[in-house]
Amino acid sequence: MMNPRDIHIPVMLERCLELLGPALQAPGSVYVDGTLGMGGHAEAILSRYDNAQLVGMDRDPQALAIARERLAAFAGRTTLVHTVYDGIAGALAQAGVPRSHAVLYDLGVSSLQLDEADRGFAYAKDAPLDMRMNQSDGITAADVIASYGEGDLRRIFERYGEEKLSGRYARAIIAARQTAPLTRTGELVDVLQDATPAALKNQGHPAKRVFQALRIEVNGELAALESAIPAALNTLAVGGRLVILSYQSLEDRFIKRLFAEATRSTAPAGLPVEMPEHRPRFRLLVKGAELASADEAERNPRAKPVRLRAIERVRERE
């Protein structure tokens, strides 16, 4: 089996440890890695915090197998669960623990999925149009390309890829598939390149946003995130912390909104004094979204687009 340390550099590792560490000091503290991947963040947490018990979640069975081997030295305080990251309550129940104390979501496509060409995530490598994070279940990107109408293709390219040429690309795909099915990444890239006006071809690769949109659609990523964040907040004990690393503006805006709602007072407008039951149940740990340092972005290109947000529970629900 490949050595994950050779292909995966955890993003903003020290900052994640710094933010989550205060919640992992007490005996029996529970760290949930909602997007375990190849276990880089989890290995660092377990190594540094002897009190921490890991509940590691991932939808990709291959990633879980790699993480299990990597974390073998900590097997006595590790529970790995095959589930999407909105399944945190069920994962905690499987581990036999009622609450979490530190939760990390490192969103987006993993190094494992990007670097294995046959997964179909990378537009720079010709491969089957798959893009499923769990290859044993669900529709593929090829299924989407083959079966969605022009309006639906345009919708996902606009919403999930923020692609300005969504309509043009949707029409080009519909026309191309009349001749032959599009089953490989290279075939789709060719269609997109041919449909891109010459004046725009030097403004980034034409497939970047379309591939992002297809990946989000195939894996239901935003739907999972929409339920995952409230679920994670509900599991946190007082003093518990949630850190989220996102890599797209679409995800970051969504996280920002949910965190703003969680840290807002529920007191009716105009009250002269805020009653204790109306005080926010959470507080922000960082102002805005933090970026990786220039040094880290240079060492690890996948850290360049990252946005980190963090929140802490300060009181229970009344």
106 sits in the region (left: phi over 0; alpha: psi -120 to 50; else beta) called beta
Pick the CATH number of 117-219 from 3.40.50.150, 2.60.40.1180, 1.10.150.170, 3.30.70.580: 1.10.150.170
Pairwise CA distance, residues 56 & 83, whole Å: 9
- Could you tell me which of 2, 94, 79, 93 has the C-alpha nearest to residue 33? 79
Q: Could you give phi then psi for residue 311, rounded to 5 degrees?
A: -145, 150
> What are the residue boundaries of the structural domains of the chain, listed by start?
4-106+221-313, 117-219
Identical fold for domains 4-106+221-313 and 117-219, yes or no, is no
Strand order in 78-82's β-sheet?
78-82, 53-58, 30-33, 100-106, 236-246, 307-313, 282-284
The per-residue pLDDT for 140 is 94
Residues of the chain with pLDDT under 70: 1-8, 110-117, 265-278, 317-318
Tell me: is residue 53 an annotated ligand-binding position.
Answer: no
Tell me: is residue 205 an annotated ligand-binding position.
Answer: no
- Could you tell me which of 122, 132, 107 has the C-alpha nearest to residue 228? 107
Pairing type for strands 282-284 and 307-313 reads antiparallel
Whole-prediction pTM value?
A: 0.86
At the topology level of CATH, where does 4-106+221-313 sit?
A: Rossmann fold (3.40.50)
Pairwise CA distance, residues 40 & 93, whole Å: 24
CA distances from 210 to 147, 168, 197 (A): 16, 12, 16
Pairwise CA distance, residues 42 & 33, whole Å: 7
The per-residue pLDDT for 1 is 47
Pairwise CA distance, residues 99 & 171, whole Å: 49
How many Cβ atoms from other residues are within 10 Å of residue 139's Cβ?
A: 17
Tell me: is residue 113 an annotated ligand-binding position.
Answer: yes
Tell me: is residue 28 an annotated ligand-binding position.
Answer: no
